[in-house]
Amino acid sequence: MAIYHFSAKVIQRSHGRSAVAAAAYRSASELEDKRLDRSYDFTAKAGVVHSEIMLPEGAPDRWLDRSALWNEVEATERRKDAVLAREVEFAIPRELSQSAGIALAQDFVREQFVTRGMVADLNVHWTTAADGEAQPHAHVMLSMRAVDGDGFGRKERGWNDRALLVGWRERWAELANARLAELDHDVRIDHRSYAAQGIDLEPQNKIGPAGARREQQGEDAERAAEHRAIARRNGDALLAEPEAALRMLTQQRSTFSKQELARLVHRHTDGAEQFAAVMAKVTASREMQWVGLDGRGQDRYSTREMLACERRMERAATAIAEEDAHRVLPAAGRQTLVLIDELGSGTDPQEGAALSQAIIEGLLAQDAHLIPIPGTKRRQYLEENAGAVDVDLSETDKQQLRDLLTTHPIVGARYGEGALKLVNR
């Protein structure tokens, strides 16, 4: 199942860091740090499936060479405590293929960093997690200075704004969810905290492979102990309310396997004994319902709440398809054009998602073609595409679609500019 992870930190000289060394490691390459007269060789590192330098407009082409770029950064920064670069790391949904995951990372980096004037060194790693599943993620090293003429200019303090980081976190979830929807993956990620999602669990520290090795060597023992203590408390919470685990799963996707349930429980328990106890409690819950086999012959489950929601959706879809008010007339010689604009955010996620999806399915059942056209360009598009049919929805429909816009994985994620952008079908 897709997991949300997005973090940002700086690479600072006073912490003994080198931008050249960091770039060599993340790209699995060999680079020479000219300032330190030292070579870094990480060519034996496995799992790096894509590396590229992405330049903003006006940047010199010599920075397309990784060694030239980061050696110039090192030479530009004179202070002993200089901040050399920013690193952003984010998890790519494992449901995506390598090509789709790389394309998604490129789109995000180009939109959020390069267009702002940052030089971005993007490296996509496709490694294997402890559970044997793919663990795709991206490392992006970013310049701290804007381009000025043929080199680096002044540092852009605005790039350190916390509000910008909050926006990056949210936008990554939006883009990832939209791409998952376009590729028909019934899963979504959520950038919000557990508390904001209504999940009564504590967030855990990330203990990666390097952290696990340090713990085995007797280092970072305090951090590892805290990680296990949080997992233990979360496990106790799931024992008290096993249905919470099911809600967490169905917030991401409508159905799940026992393997996906086990992965979630494993993350939020400490040790085999507590894991087994929580799994037994959750699988014994009346809320967990078997729904059938998937294409691989694997049992799929959902919840009573989700199934009831889908039944309401089915009834609404049937009613909508029969109502003349929702009928879409075919345009001559082309697919019907449906434009929906001036939408905001919703307040009733589950009920709204079901009813809103029913509206969309009702339109699709009549061969309507839903396409993403911002409301501001509505008239211009219709004038340029003679024969298209413009269909307005009622205020009730719009409110239902507002809910869907922020919650439902089938259609995608929330977009701005007052427009609802739906998946092309």
- Compute the distance between CA of residue 8 and CA of residue 101 in angstroms, rounded to an integer: 20
Work out the average pLDDT over 182-208: 77
**Mean pLDDT, residues 18-38 taken together:** 96
The residue ranges of every structural domain in the chain are 6-182, 199-303, 323-407
- Find the range with the poorest average confidence among 137-141, 285-289, 383-387: 383-387
CA distance 133 to 374: 38
Sheet containing 83-91, strands listed edge to edge, beginning at the edge strand earlier in sequence = 6-12, 83-91, 134-142, 120-128, 48-54
Mean pLDDT on 281-307: 87
- Please state the rounded mean pLDDT for residues 282-289: 91
Would you state the pLDDT for residue 331? 35
Tens-digit pLDDT profile for residues 335-367: 333 333 333 333 343 444 444 444 455 544 444
Token pair for 253? 């996707």
Q: Domain 6-182, what fold?
A: BirA Bifunctional Protein; domain 2 (3.30.930)
State residue 90's pLDDT score: 96
| Separation between Cα atoms, residue 236 and residue 255, nearest integer Å | 25
| Confidence check: pLDDT of 253 > 80 | no
Residues 27-37 have a mean pLDDT of: 96
Mean pLDDT of the chain: 76
Q: How confident is the model at residue 27 (pLDDT cuts 50, 70, 90)?
A: very high
Give me the pLDDT at residue 105, please.
Answer: 97
At residue 83, does pLDDT exceed 80? yes
Higher pLDDT, 193 or 300: 300
pLDDT tens per residue, range 140-179: 999 999 999 999 999 999 999 999 999 999 999 999 999 9
Q: Which position has the token pair 């398809």?
A: 321
8 A C-beta contact, residue 265 and residue 282: yes
pTM for this predicted structure: 0.64
* pLDDT value of position 372: 38
Q: Which of 37-51, 62-76, 130-144, 333-347 has the lowest mean pLDDT?
A: 333-347
Nearest to 120 by CA among 38, 199, 53, 206: 53
Is the confidence at residue 234, as pLDDT, over 50? yes
What's the pLDDT tens digit per position in 321-332? 555 444 443 333
Res 368 pLDDT > 70: no
> What does the pLDDT read at residue 356?
43
| pLDDT tens per residue across span 397-417 | 555 555 544 444 333 322 222
Cα-only R_g, the chain: 25
- Tell me: pLDDT of 207 over 90: no
pLDDT at 277 over 50: yes
Q: What is the pLDDT of residue 133?
A: 80
- 212 vs 422: which has the higher pLDDT: 212
- pLDDT on residue 250: 82
pLDDT of residue 367: 42
- More confident: 111 or 194: 111
Q: What number is the average pLDDT over the span 172-188?
A: 88
| CA dist 417 → 50, 64, 239 (Å) | 32, 34, 44
Of residues 336 and 295, more confidently modeled: 295
Burial of 24 (0-12, 13-18, 19+ CB in 10 A): buried
pLDDT of 399: 54
